[in-house]
Structures are given as structure tokens and as C-alpha cells.
Structure 1
Amino acid sequence: MRSVFLLSLLTVFVSAINISPHIRHEHRRDLPSGWNVVRRAPPTSTLPLRIGLAQPNLDQLEKHLLDVSHPDSPNYGQHWTPAKIAETFRPSQESVDAVREWLALEGVDASRMKLSKTGGWLEATVSVKEAEALLRTQYSVYEHEETGTQHIACGSAYHLPEHVSKHVELVTPTLHFDVKLKRDTGEGFNKRTAGPGFAKSIGKPGSGVVNPKTTGRINIKSIFQELSQCDQFITPNCIRALYDYVYVPLAPKKNSYGIVEYTPQAYLASDLDLFFKNFSKSQVGERPTLVGIDGGVVQTTDTGFDFNGESNLDLQFGMSLVGKSQPVTLYQVGDLPQGASFNNLLDALDGTFCTFEGGDDPSQDGIYPDPLPGGFTGAAQCGIVKPANVISTSYGYNEADLTPAYTARQCAEYGKLGLMGVTVLYSSGDNGVAGNGGLCLNPDGTQTRSGKIFNPSFPGGCPFVTSVGATQVNPGAKVTDPESACMQVIFSGGGFSNYFAIPEYQKTAVKTYLTKFSPPFSHDLWNATGTARAFPDLSANGANYVVAVNGQFSRVFGTSASSPVIGAILTAINDARLVIGKRPIGFINPTIYSPRFARAFNDITTGTNPGCGTDGFAATTGWDPVTGLGTPNFAKLLVEWLLLP
């Protein structure tokens, strides 16, 4: 009788699965710029279908972050351990079972299913034909018109049974085009057609991400009075003068500062010494501590500004500003043949991310071991290093390049790093309200240079990172005069996300801005709802940097410069706190937006960030979507942070 009863229950359960209708789980309005369908995917081809399981408690992530990051919280600075984070956000057995049972009912036997070690991904080896039936979609091969890169993806949407959908965050490969493009630059990298599984590095020239700009070489002998020429040449002393930044590290062995680069971007040792010789003599011969991730190397084969400008800029200013005694860690990500993505970096910082929170997708990320000639032959490196207290990255995408589900999953990982006490900085972009490459959105979601709709950036628009915009010393002005938003060569990226809701810590500042300084644009050009994450959060100078590149000095511009400068300043604040037995500042956004920090920034009230056929937003009193809260006043920030627990 008992067996009959159990069989009846099982029959009811299976029937419930059978009648659960499919609903749209993810969709996109159009293809990313440059991609075209070339043919249907062969139905018998094998797909490594990966199903990202829903993470419980993600809706509480902001609450948890505020608890350890808001200055008024009794738990300020009580950062979580990686083990506590993994346990809190581990998918439930109910989610695992629901997806397994659905796949089995559709004819995928257990031998073709595999649960990742941390329980976040359920992987199934299926044919294209099976995947199309499972997801009620159609797969095609797409090709990029400039590079010949090929990528397999489904149509404009995919679907899941309603009872399964609530247990799943995303499925790959499906809609995501986070493929890193490589162009023939004439400097050592040739076009190569790549199938699924060949990731393209965001470090390769021409990839469309945030990169510094240059107006060419300068004669170092023309810089004869540094502080009187900061409107023409930004040096470390100019930064110190602008932001009242004077500090000698007292606890460097307890502290850490990480700067991220993506192969083949690389510094030249001779350029470091040339820069130090002129601006920080005691550091001649000093080098960053290299952490090579997935075969990351400081290559010296391909040189020139496109290969050395970014890394030289970041390290020369980052290292000189923190000083000789404070080690700087260089996270060099990706091998030469294949390259890497943001996810590969996150793998190394948090071991659970490799298979759990965003993982490595063959269509998007560097997959290791790399079978290409000269590739990294080891396994993907997961949790190989404790994250630095401050991590600065000067790269970014257009938000519209990626699907909302993909960006949400990666953004959550930045939030978890914040829970661990890590400050994560990203450049806000160099094209004002337009995206990388000057691309703007069209009503159908496509990105073109003729588009009119503002195109926000990512990860700068993630609420769990600190987004850094750019300012300038105005031509003819003194270093003691107020700066303006950067309007030389580049424009500070800023605006309102189309994917992320406004975080609690930012609501008052954004409401004040929208009430007092309502932008004069039609609401169909930007996210004018007042409920969107706004960026940047703060700024630093981004114009006229003096950088040694390939044995010569060049004048460099970009939020690429602003982010490592902010990183150096925050590293000094961490040092001061560690000296007196306090913890690193961690995720800073709830703190810097709080009333007690209102006077610790230099408010920027002039300049705009043009783009998409408009003048962009205008810098105003208080927070604005051009320069954020303003530029740092180190002395005031130091006092306020030392007063916190």
C-alpha cells in the first residue's frame, strides 16, 4: 500500500512538470554591433550547456553590504570570510533537483549531467537539436564583420518551464556576446577565425574597451616647473597638490594594492625606471609584484602605445603615489594566445567563482588548459591569491554589450568581494554619455555611432563597484584652482544604468540632483525614471598625464588614469587605519555618500560629458552624473575614516 501511495505521488509530481508551461527567461532586442548570422548551427553539434542555478539570499546582498560598510552600522568593518559568503549564497538542493528532473524528463540521462563542485552550475552535454527543444529557441553561428570571429548563440530569447525558471539565473551558451574581439593591428596580431571556446582578450588593441588616449610625445625638458604647469603636464606632484595628498606608509607589510592588466597589455621595465628617474628617484629599479593569472605574462614582443600605454600609466602613477615602501601587486590576466576576461580575474580572487558564480563560459571566457600553441597548459587558476585591499581596473564594456542576467551575476561577485573587505574600482568610460567607440543606442537596442540614446558602461554601472570619472585642470588655471569635468581629448563617462536599480546609499544624492538640476533631455534618451543606478561615484584628474612609453614621454588622457590614482589614495587610508589596529575600508560607496563625508570631496561644478549628439550632463553642486561626488581631499577623508570603527 505504501509503495502504491509513493507511486501516486510521483505520478502527480511528474504530471506537474509535464504541464508547466515554458516562459521567456532571457531576451535581447537585437544583436551587438558588428555581429551577423551566417548559418544555422548544425543540429548534431555538441553544446556544453551550462545552467547557472539561482543563488539564495542575493536579494539580501545590498543589505549585508550596508551592514558592514555603512558608517552608522554597528557592524562597520566586520567583513565576512570567504567561507561564510560561499555558504550564504550556495544554491539550494531544491534548485538542483528541479533542474535535474526537468532535464531527465526531456531525455537527458544522468550520465550527461554534472554538478559543479560548489553546486552553482549544472552542466549537461547535449546536441544543438536537444538544446533547441529544451529552451524553445534556435541556435545559429554568428560572425563578426570586422574580425571574422565566429560565435554560437541562440535567437532573441530562450525559454524555460515556469517551475524551473525560478531556480535558474542564466543558461549558456545562449544570448551572451561577451566575446573579446581581436583586430589586425599590424603590430604582431593577425586575424584568426575562432569557434566557440576561443575567448578574445579585452587587453588586445582595438577591442573596444576603455583605453587611454594620447596626443603624442612631449619633451620632458619642457617640464621645468611642475606645479606651475599642471594645466599642461600632470605629474605625481600635481596629484599630491590637487588632492592634499601627502603620506608615508607605516604598515606596508599589512596592506595591499592591486592593479589589473590584461595580456598583451604590458609595462616595460625600462619605462618604469625612466619615469622614476624623473619623478620618484628612490624607486628606480622597483617593480610590481607579479601575479600571473592563467598564464598572464608581461610580454615584450609587441610594443608601442597600444600595448604599453595602459599598463605603464597605471603602474607609474600607482606605484609612485603609494611610495617606495608599499608593494603593488600586478594582476596580469590571460596567456598570449587566448587572453582572458573579467571572469578569469574573478576566478583567481574567489575560488568559488570558477564553477559557481559566473564561471568560465567557453563562448565568453578564457578556458584553460589552453590547447593553442604556446598556451597556458595548467588548469584554470581558482582562488590562487588573497584579494588586495584595493583593486583598480581601467577597462570596461558598454552595458548593452551584455545581457542583464550576465551583468547581474558578475555584479553580485563584486558585491561579495565588498563583503570580504575589498575596494573594487572601475573606470567610468571616456566617451561621456556615449559608449566605447562613441556608440549610442537606437530604439531597437542596437549600438551605432548615429544612435541618439545614452549608452551606459559596465562594470562602472554595477552598484557594488566604485565608478571613477575624470576631471581636468583647466587650461591656464593654477593647480590650486577648482578643476572641471574633463573635456580635453576624452569626456568623463557618466549617466544612469539601464540594467541596475538605484542602491539605497545613493538615493538621496540622486534625488537631489534630479530635483534641483533636472537634465534638459527628452526622457526617451536616458533612463529618467529616478530609480536607476547612477555613476560615477567620484573622480580624479584624467588629462595631460606625463607617462613614459617606449623610451619617450607621452601626454595621456583617460579615466584609465583616474582609477589608479584613486586606488593609491585609498591604499594610503587603509595603511593609516591598519597602523592603529582598524580594518581596511572595504566597499566605500555607503560611506562616501553619507552626510559625514559630504565635505571631504572637492565639488566639481563646471564642465559636461558630451555624447550621442548632445552636450551630455552638466557638473553641478553636489553629486552629478559627470564627476560624481567630486575629487578627493585626502586630508579630510583620512580624518573621517580614522574616526570610524
Structure 2
Amino acid sequence: MRLASLLGLPSFAAALVGAASFKDCQHKVKESIHDPPRGWYKHAPAPKHHVLELKIALPQPKFPELEQHLWEVSDPNHTRYGAHLSKEEADALMAPHPETLDIVSQWLASYGLAEEDLIRPSANDWVTIHVPVSLAEEMLNTTYHVYKNFKTGESIVRTTSYSLPEILHEHVDLIQPTTMFARFKAFKTTLHWANQAQALVSNSSGGMITGPAGNQVDASCNKTVTISCLRQLYNAVDYNTSATNCNRLAVTGYLGQIANDMDLQQFYQLQNPLAYGSNYTFVAIHGGANNQSYEAAGLEANLDTQVAFGLSWPTPGTFYSTGGEPPFIPDTPGSDNTNEPYTNWLHHVLSQDTLPQSISTSYGDDEQTVPYTYATRVCAGMATLGARGVSVVFSSGDGGVGDGDSNPATQQCFSNDGRNVTKFMPTFPASCPYVTAVGGTANVPETAVNFSGGGFSDYFHRPAYQDAAVSKYLAKLAPGTYEGLFNPMGRAYPDVAAQARNFATVYRGSTVSTAGTSCAAPTFIAFISMLNDARITAGKSPLGFLNPFLYSRGYAGLNDITKGQNPGCGTDGFNATVGWDPITGHGTPNFEKLKHLVLTMP
């Protein structure tokens, strides 16, 4: 799949215009949406003095070349497998044409913005500016409003359409925040929230269950999932990682989610005593906070760090805290907007010379709330990470085939294109073909958990690496099944799965039970980090983008999940079955089998 239609070379027939003449140029609509997504309503005009952080994406004419590198270095059957790009090589392939840089700078200068007012990442493919609403409205020939969410009460400043001088259209891919209403919430369900402070005093029920690898798993793992349970279930009890081979693992945090260090140490005492006293590297991005009071602790951040770092210790861990905390309160001076979190994070990490080899994110939203232009650009950034040798995983969501609401009775499954037709709701960024999406399972023996997000993208075509597996699944569906509710030619997800219910997590000094594909993503990435550890120790490259391996060879090292459904939108959803399915993908990890597979590859 290529994004060339969005990222192609501009034609430079038109001469650059003088700075003063931009305001006299005829504006043409660059992007618009029919209405705000269901659940949002126009509340009031945006305060003219409110400062917007506008991000301007410039075309990447060499992206098709970067994408070709990605396919080659990620395909275990290709001679270039593992020959990942350096930061400098990736930057060169992400860079806009010099004439694009010139004309966009002239346009900004015509509104009084000097070069020192512009923030650019190392590849120069984005420009960030801070301007009041009044100036943004003039530049974009639009009117901003405060929109409120019926369900959450959140407020954001957005518009439903914006325009640019015609000469700029081929030099600008998108500008946000404008038409984007995604909330990018953490993927966790509260269905199983309960105080289980005594659950970890003794985690032995005296009984054992046979796990998918044929090994014995403590029967208590059917009630409470711990680090020990996951290592037993996924066949990695005896594997010890290194702290000195340059392998690193990272998890991300957004929207004010803070990982509490005291909670982490308590978790280590209970579940991995050898790790007690160790810590991770904290990286603040765009004002990411690190308030270590119990009151500031975030359940999502605690879950991600405890599971990922608890499983992979002593591999060095990194927690990225990216700023931007909702809700926006329009009447409070200095309050911020809920801006798009992934661009700030991507700009930071792609500007680094070295990166963690494995990164997990447990956030997302309905694909249709994300403008297509924005989704493709963020997805291109994920492709760049893969080309640089990073394995990137995302939770698949917690709404089954629905809109992210874990309660099927309250889901709103309608298109926001003005037609208001009933349809399944794919999740982004899980639907990006350059990331590995992780669905959820429960119990031993494992079955698909009913809230596991899965389905087919409306934005991205099915990539070649999954053609065979997905076609086999679709062929099993009865003719006409859910016809019109999903796009059978879209990128299908999830790719894999892991446990997603009854996780014992330490939160503000107590042990609570959490659930959601937020549990599954850090679990899966920890086992990928162990595989990277094994390859690096053996003198091999890290795995990088996982999907070409998973669909060509890696599925042989996964436990196929064949039972369960993911209901939503008034339907029973899809069913788990033999082979790939849109609930659990190819299944859950069998570490020893996967280790054998990755060590026999170049």
C-alpha cells in the first residue's frame, strides 16, 4: 500500500509569490467535514485570544522510496532484512522539496511569522506555529468554535472547514487542529474494576492448568493475571534478559497520564522482587508531567509501565510522557486544547539518533474522527519508525466492532459523512498498516475477550503481507455476512493478541484489577523485547516492523485462538476461528517457538 496520492511531488509551475501578495490570493477549501462526529455539538465561538498550536504537514515526495525500504528490511525472505535506516537516511526520505519550504515560509512571513517563530522537526516535514484564534481564522479563512462532548463534557476548539491560497495546496498536506475531533483516549475497560488488595499475598491456588504450549500454568491465573502468569502462559519462565546489550523497551503516556514510581516499586515487591529498586528513564515531551504524588498517578500509565517493565526486567525501560491534558476549559486563561498527541511524540522520537527497539501505545479513537490526511501522515511516521528498526504496537481498542464504548448497549455506530448509515467502527492508529495491532484474550485455555477491538479499516487498503490470511478468513464468512457494515478490502486488524482481563495492577498504593487491550499491548511488546534481546545477544539486528515476519513465518510461533466473538453495533461481531481472525489476529505468543524462529533468520 502506498500513500503517494497524498505525498506525491508538487508541481512547481507557479512562481513563488511575494509575501505581501498572499493575502490577495484566492482561497480554496483545503479540508472539510460534513458535521462534527456524533457526540460533539457547537457550544460557542472560540475566544479570539486563545492560542492554537497549529501543525502544518508538508508533502514528503520521497515517501514511496522510504516505504520500499520498509518492506525490504522487514521481510525475512529479502536479502536486505534487518538493514534498517539511520536517522540521517530516514530524514532525507521524509524531507519536503526545498521549494515547498520556501513558499510555506513566505506565506507565514506574510502574516508576521519569522523563521524564529517556526518549530520544525529534524526532517523539516512539519512546521509548528503558535497563533491566536483571530490570526488562525484569517490565515485559514475559517471560523473556530468551542465544541463540547455530550458524554464526557470535554471542550475543544475546532472548525469544520478551512481554506488556503490555491498556490499552497500542493505544498501543504494538512493543518491541524482544525477538523479533527479524535479524543485519543486510553484503551481500558472499567468492567472489571475492583479492589483486590489481598490478591497477591499468595498467588497459588494449589492447582495447575495446561497452557497452550503444553506447559503447566498456575490455576490462579484464571482469576488474577500476574507477571508470573504471563511468563508461564507464554512459555518464557526460564528466559533472562540482559541489561547491557543496548536493547531497550519503551511505553508511551498521553493526556496527563503519570506513572507513579512508588506504585511501581510496590508492584515489583509483589510480582518481581529481583526488579525492586530499579527504575526506568523518564522522557518529557511537549510539557509532559511527572508529578509523583499518589493523587496524580494514572491507572493507564501504571498498568503500561508495570506490565512491560516487570516482564522485561532488567532490559532498560523508557516512559515517554507527552503533554496535552484535557479537558480544555475555554473560560480559563492559559488553558490548553486537546491537541493531537502523536505528532508531538513522533517529532521527538524521530529526531533522536538512537531509539528503543520496542515501543507500545495503548491509546486511540474511532478512525472516522481522525481526518484521512492526518491519519495517513501519522501512519507514515510509524512506517519511518519501522524502517529505522523499531517494533511499534498499538492496542486494538475495547469496543469490539463498535465505537470504543465497552458497553454494546450504548454504542453509536453511525458514519459521520452526512449519511448517518450504520457501520462498524475501525480504530486508529491500530488500523495503520505499519503498526502491529494487539487484540485481547482471557482465561486459560485462552478465548477471545468480548471487548477486543477488531475489524477492517475504511482508510487504508489491505497490505500485501496479510492478503492470504485475511482472504481465508473472509472466505469462511457466510455470503452477505455484515454486508455494508465493514470494508472487506481494508487493512484488517488486530495482528496478534495477549491477555486483557483481570490484571493485578498497583494503583495509588492498592492492588486493583484492570482490563482492556491496554493490558494486551504492553504484554505483547515485552515478549517482543525479549526476542530482540535474544537476537541482539546473538549479533543480529532487532526485529523492526513485525508484520511481514508475523504473517510469513511468525504465526507458527503463536497460539491460535479459535473461540470467542467481539460484539458491537447491535451485532455479534466477528468470530474467532482457526487461523487469522479480526478479534485475536494470529494469536498469542509462544516465546520459545518465536525465539527459535527469530534466531534462525538472518
TM-score by length of 2: 0.81
On the 8 A contact 1:49/1:173 being kept in 2, the answer is: yes
Larger Rg: 1
2:33 counterpart of 1:73? no
SS at match of 2:186: coil
Give CA-to-partner distance per residue, 1:158-212, whole Å, 9 cap, x none.
445665423321123431235x5xxxxxxxxxxxxxxxxxxxxx6xxxxx43135
Q: For the residues of structure 2 that align with 1:459 and 1:394, how far apart are their CA atoms?
A: 10
Deviating more after overlay: 223-232 vs 562-571: 223-232
Change (3 A) 1:316 1:58: same
Q: How does 1:443-522 map to 2 (within 5 A)?
A: 443-445=415-417, 452-473=422-443, 479=444, 481=445, 483-487=446-450, 491-517=451-477, 521-522=481-482
Task: Report the equivalent of 1:358.
Answer: none
Once the two structures are TM-superposed, the CA of residue 102 in structure 1 deviates from its matched residue by: 7.4
SS at match of 1:436: coil
Change (3 A) 1:519 1:64: farther
SS at match of 2:174: strand
Task: Report the equivalent of 2:303.
Answer: 313
On the 8 A contact 1:32/1:446 being kept in 2, the answer is: no
2:315 counterpart of 1:347? no
Q: How does 1:151-162 map to 2 (within 5 A)?
A: 151-155=156-160, 157-160=161-164
Q: Which one of 530, 537, 548 corresponds to residue 572 of structure 1?
A: 530
What amino acid is aligned across from residue 317 of structure 2 in structure 1? V
Task: Report the equivalent of 1:371.
Answer: none
What amino acid is aligned across from residue 465 of structure 1 in structure 2? V
Q: How does 1:371-410 map to 2 (within 5 A)?
A: 383=352, 386-410=354-378
Task: Report the equivalent of 1:293.
Answer: 285
On the 8 A contact 1:251/1:579 being kept in 2, the answer is: no
What amino acid is aligned across from residue 519 of structure 2 in structure 1? A
What amino acid is aligned across from residue 567 of structure 2 in structure 1? P
2:227 counterpart of 1:236? yes
Task: Report the equivalent of 1:224.
Answer: 204
Aligned residues with identical type, % of pairs: 36
Unpaired segments of 5 or more residues in structure 1? Answer: 1-9, 181-201, 203-207, 352-382, 474-478
Q: For the residues of structure 2 that align with 1:12 and 1:342, how far apart are their CA atoms?
A: 34
Change (3 A) 1:25 1:571: same
Q: How does 1:94-493 map to 2 (within 5 A)?
A: 94-97=99-102, 99=104, 117=120, 119-121=124-126, 137-145=142-150, 150-155=155-160, 157-160=161-164, 164-178=168-182, 208-213=185-190, 214-218=192-196, 219-220=198-199, 221=201, 223-225=203-205, 227-246=218-237, 247-250=239-242, 252-262=244-254, 264-301=256-293, 303=295, 307-323=297-313, 325-334=314-323, 341-351=341-351, 383=352, 386-438=354-406, 439-445=411-417, 452-473=422-443, 479=444, 481=445, 483-487=446-450, 491-493=451-453
2:497 counterpart of 1:527? no
Once the two structures are TM-superposed, the CA of residue 47 in structure 1 deviates from its matched residue by: 7.4
Task: Report the equivalent of 2:9.
Answer: none
SS at match of 1:599: helix
Q: For the residues of structure 2 that align with 1:28 and 1:403, how far apart are their CA atoms?
A: 8
Give CA-to-partner distance per residue, 1:38-92, whole Å, 9 cap, x none.
4456899997765422111223443221111011111111111111111112111
Q: For the residues of structure 1 that align with 2:71 and 2:219, how far apart are their CA atoms?
A: 42
Deviating more after overlay: 492-501 vs 310-319: 310-319
Q: For the residues of structure 2 that align with 1:627 and 1:586, how far apart are their CA atoms?
A: 21
Give the aligned CA root-mean-square deviation in angstroms: 3.7
Q: For the residues of structure 2 that align with 1:102 and 1:497, how far apart are their CA atoms?
A: 35
Change (3 A) 1:52 1:313: closer
Q: For the residues of structure 2 that align with 1:92 and 1:11, how far apart are their CA atoms?
A: 15
TM-score by length of 1: 0.76
Give CA-to-partner distance per residue, 1:445-469, whole Å, 9 cap, x none.
4899xx8421111111111111111
Unpaired segments of 5 or more residues in structure 2? Answer: 1-12, 206-216, 326-334
Q: For the residues of structure 2 that align with 1:134 and 1:446, how far apart are their CA atoms?
A: 27
What amino acid is aligned across from residue 291 of structure 1 in structure 2? V
Q: How many residues are treated as equivalent by the alignment?
A: 556
Once the two structures are TM-superposed, the CA of residue 441 in structure 1 deviates from its matched residue by: 3.0
Change (3 A) 1:43 1:335: closer
On the 8 A contact 2:566/2:573 being kept in 1, the answer is: yes
